[in-house]
């Protein structure tokens, strides 16, 4: 009997209940965190905004084939820069010149310190980024829509449509979550740009957070996740199982491509 495929997660190891660990379990893959032992495929796994490519030197023979090995910077500044190049319009704003609502948040991920401010103003701080306020409110309600877009090596298996409370805009709590087909939410042109964005920011496998501005109908990529730690809030067990089934198909192709 042949040995099961072993996926090396390095330098950190995913928690057993993380999405990516559940994908490996569904597919019968072994999970390893030891690069000195036999493995078949490597996944750069590091729960931080920045990553040094030198940390993968131990994997030099397969360096170019490491999943997410080129995902080195998912800071808000990097997201805004790549977004501008791919989409041709800005998420970032200059708060000393822009007039209207803007969002101030830390350049570092997961701090959840976002704040809505009225620009222009002169007191700016380098540890923050300043972004256009994206109005995705559902008319006549106190809720808004946010899309979580799974990415797997230039494929989008489905989209999570999250409905959230405006009063908790910068918190991870949802009111409800639905599965959507990518072409239900995005045009062909938008889907092409989303995948180009993922490629240019080095994301082989992960998720993008996207808002659609009801003012100009444009979409904005506001966050990148490259560790697949958890499911969206309010996803029930049936939905989680369905997500694992759909994601496992794309994860299978990602792994097989690197064998």
pLDDT at residue 101 in the model? 98
89 token code pair: 């319009």
**Average pLDDT rounded to a whole number, residues 88-94:** 98
pLDDT tens digits, 165-223: 999 999 989 999 999 999 999 999 999 999 999 999 999 999 999 999 999 999 999 99
Q: Rounded CA gap, 104 and 109, in Å? A: 13
Residues 185 and 147 sit within 8 Å (Cβ to Cβ):
yes
pLDDT tens digits, 109-120: 989 999 999 999
Q: Rounded CA gap, 209 and 221, in Å? A: 6
Residues 201 and 83 sit within 8 Å (Cβ to Cβ):
no
111 token code pair: 């701090």
Question: N- to C-terminal Cα distance for the chain?
Answer: 18
| Sequence-distant contacts of 172-176: CB under 8 A, at least 24 apart | 172/112, 172/232, 172/233, 173/233, 173/234, 174/232, 174/233, 174/234, 175/143, 175/234, 176/234
Question: In the predicted model, what is the mean pLDDT of the chain?
Answer: 96
pLDDT at residue 2 in the model? 76
Q: Give the residue carrying structure tokens 């040995």.
A: 3
Q: Which candidate, 127, 85, 77, 128, places its Cα nearest to that of 103?
A: 128
Instruction: Assess whether the previous peptide bond of 11 is cis (omega < 30° from 0).
Output: yes
Tell me: pLDDT of 234 over 60: yes
The band of 60, judged by pLDDT with boundaries at 50, 70 and 90, is: confident
Kindly calculate the radius of gyration of the chain based on its CA atoms and give it in whole angstroms.
19
Strand order in the sheet with 205-212: 176-180, 159-165, 143-152, 205-212, 219-225
The band of 228, judged by pLDDT with boundaries at 50, 70 and 90, is: confident
Q: Rounded CA gap, 105 and 185, in Å? A: 26
Tell me: pLDDT of 59 over 70: yes
Q: Which candidate, 141, 121, 138, 139, places its Cα nearest to that of 130?
A: 121
CA dihedral in degrees (237, 232, 248, 190; nearest 10)?
Answer: 140
């Amino acid at each position: 009997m042949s040995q099961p495929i072993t996926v090396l997660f390095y330098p950190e190891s995913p928690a057993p209940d993380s999405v990516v660990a559940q994908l490996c379990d569904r597919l019968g893959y072994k999970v390893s965190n030891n690069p000195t032992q036999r493995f078949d495929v490597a996944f750069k796994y590091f729960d931080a905004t920045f990553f040094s490519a030198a940390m993968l030197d131990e994997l030099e023979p397969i360096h170019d084939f490491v999943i997410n090995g080129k995902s080195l910077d998912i800071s808000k500044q990097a997201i805004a820069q790549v977004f501008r190049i791919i989409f041709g319009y800005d998420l970032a704003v200059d708060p000393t010149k822009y007039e209207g609502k803007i969002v101030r948040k830390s350049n570092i991920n997961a701090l959840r310190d976002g704040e809505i401010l009225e620009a222009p103003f002169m007191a700016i701080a380098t540890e923050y980024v300043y972004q256009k306020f994206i109005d995705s409110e559902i008319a006549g309600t106190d809720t808004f829509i946010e899309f979580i877009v799974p990415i797997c090596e230039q494929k989008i298996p489905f989209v999570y449509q999250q409905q959230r409370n405006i009063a908790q805009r910068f918190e991870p709590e949802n009111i409800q979550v639905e599965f959507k087909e990518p072409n239900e939410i995005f045009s062909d042109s938008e889907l092409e740009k989303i995948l180009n964005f993922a490629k240019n920011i080095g994301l082989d496998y992960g998720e993008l957070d996207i808002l659609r501005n009801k003012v100009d109908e444009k979409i904005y990529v506001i966050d990148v996740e490259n560790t697949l730690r958890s499911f969206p809030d309010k996803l029930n067990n049936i939905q989680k199982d369905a997500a694992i089934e759909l994601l496992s198909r794309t994860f299978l192709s990602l792994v097989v491509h690197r064998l």
